[in-house]
């Protein structure tokens, strides 16, 4: 009998523990990670090193990291099927980031959209880490020889600069890094704010009711959807250019129910926005309820969480150090 000896492809992704995880985080990233873990070798990290480009309260950061690990598991990530780890617990990330920063051009960093955006929001703290973080992000990806990087459509620029850095290094020293590709899910890739459907739902959203958090209570979730921005018409139709609010709600409803946009349009053919918002809110509540309950259960078992992130760091460190040793040899460091 023939056997398939082809190696499984590798996926790396992570989210900064700089705030509470949102519905957008879940539908745009974590939900897809759980589904990918059965077909790929997956490394999912708490990107705490990236988080400190903005000032963080130390106690809050530690608590948020633990909460995020618990939420990852509650969202369906199986620690036995993937590596769940804290970025700062694998020193190879910082070590490779320095090497790669020497192969990253100043002009490339200057053109990064996120640097411009964050600089505008943090004028009092435009630090070097904020400018050079793409080198650290490239290290995150290249350490694991990742084939695919799950990102939102607005994050493709990060994978592109990573590819440029890897190709530049390979061009100088020979085949060292695998060139990664972005993986963008077709539905749910970019969930928008309920109050400003032209802006991505973000944990930094300051508009009241614009953001749904994974641990929100049912009443708060329903209230936010009832107040969601739509338009002056009544038809539930998917048309992002002219009906961004309704289209965003349809995107959310589709992601949590599995229904197509056509099925959603048919379901609410003779109903108004009030009925539609209520249905979306209730569907989200039922989707998040088990996640909230499981997260609370896990946070009451800190010893178990410690076992998970220590095992994850060990697994990630093994793979990362193999790449780092190769890089150090390539650039001429004494072994």
Residue 97 lies in a domain: yes
Instruction: Decide: 68 and 299 in contact? Cβ < 8 Å.
Output: no
Q: Which two tokens stand for residue 333?
A: 């460091």
Positions marked active-site: 118, 200, 203
Q: Is the domain of 71 the same as that of 163?
A: yes
Q: Which two tokens stand for residue 2?
A: 């023939």
pTM: 0.86
Neighbours of 72 (CB within 10 A): 26
Q: Is the domain of 291 the same as that of 322?
A: no
Q: Is the domain of 153 the same as that of 235?
A: no
CATH (domain of 242)? 1.10.240.10
Check whether 187 has a pLDDT greater than 60.
no
β-pair type (10-15, 41-46): parallel
Q: Of 3-7, 219-223, 261-265, where does mean pLDDT reach its minimum?
A: 3-7
Task: Extract long-range pairs of 203-208: CB within 8 Å, 24+ residues apart.
Answer: 203/18, 203/19, 203/20, 203/21, 203/22, 203/25, 204/19
Average pLDDT for 123-149: 90
Instruction: Decide: 200 and 244 in contact? Cβ < 8 Å.
Output: no
Per-residue pLDDT at 3: 42
**pLDDT-based confidence at residue 157 (cuts at 50, 70, 90):** confident
Residue 32 lies in a domain: yes
Mean pLDDT in the chain? 90
Check whether 335 has a pLDDT greater than 90.
no
- Residue 31's domain comprises 10-183+302-331
Q: Is the domain of 259 the same as that of 121?
A: no
Q: Is the domain of 170 the same as that of 291?
A: no
Rg (the chain; Cα; Å): 21
Nearest to 177 by CA among 147, 145, 149, 150: 145
Sheet architecture: strand order including 41-46: 82-86, 41-46, 10-15, 148-150, 181-183
Neighbours of 91 (CB within 10 A): 13
| 89-110 tens-digit pLDDT | 999 999 999 999 999 999 888 8
Q: How far is CA 177 from the centre of its chain?
A: 22
Q: Is the domain of 20 the same as that of 150?
A: yes
Per-residue pLDDT at 237: 93
Check whether 43 has a pLDDT greater than 90.
yes
């Amino acid at each position: 009998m023939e056997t398939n000896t082809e190696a499984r492809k590798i996926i790396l992704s992570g989210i900064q523990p700089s705030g509470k995880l949102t519905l957008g985080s879940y539908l745009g990233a974590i939900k897809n990670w759980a589904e990918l873990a059965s077909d790929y070798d997956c490394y999912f990290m708490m990107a705490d090193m990236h988080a400190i480009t903005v000032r963080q309260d130390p106690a809050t950061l530690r608590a948020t990291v633990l909460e995020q690990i618990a939420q990852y598991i509650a969202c369906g990530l199986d620690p036995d099927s993937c590596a769940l780890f804290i970025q700062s617990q694998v020193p190879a990330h910082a070590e490779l980031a320095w090497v790669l920063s020497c192969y990253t051009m100043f002009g490339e960093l200057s053109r990064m959209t996120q640097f411009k955006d964050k600089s505008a929001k943090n004028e009092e703290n435009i630090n070097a880490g904020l400018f050079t973080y793409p080198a650290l992000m490239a290290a995150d990806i290249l350490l694991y020889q990742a084939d695919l990087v799950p990102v939102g459509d607005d994050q493709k620029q990060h994978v592109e600069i990573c590819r440029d850095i890897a190709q530049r290094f390979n061009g100088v020293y020979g085949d060292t890094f695998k060139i990664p590709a972005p993986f963008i899910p077709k539905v749910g890739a970019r969930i928008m704010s309920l109050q400003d459907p032209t802006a991505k739902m973000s944990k930094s959203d300051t508009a009241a009711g614009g953001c749904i958090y994974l641990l929100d209570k049912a009443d708060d979730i329903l209230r936010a959807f009832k107040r969601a921005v739509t338009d002056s018409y009544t038809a539930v139709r998917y048309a992002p250019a002219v009906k961004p609010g309704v289209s965003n709600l349809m995107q959310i409803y589709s992601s949590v129910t599995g229904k197509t946009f056509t099925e959603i349009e048919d379901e609410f053919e003779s109903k108004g926005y009030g009925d539609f918002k209520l249905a979306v809110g209730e569907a989200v509540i039922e989707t998040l309820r088990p996640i909230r309950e499981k997260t609370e259960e896990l946070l009451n078992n800190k010893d178990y969480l410690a076992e998970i992130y220590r095992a994850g760091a060990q697994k990630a460190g093994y793979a990362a150090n193999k790449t780092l040793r190769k890089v150090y040899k390539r650039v001429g460091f004494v072994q």
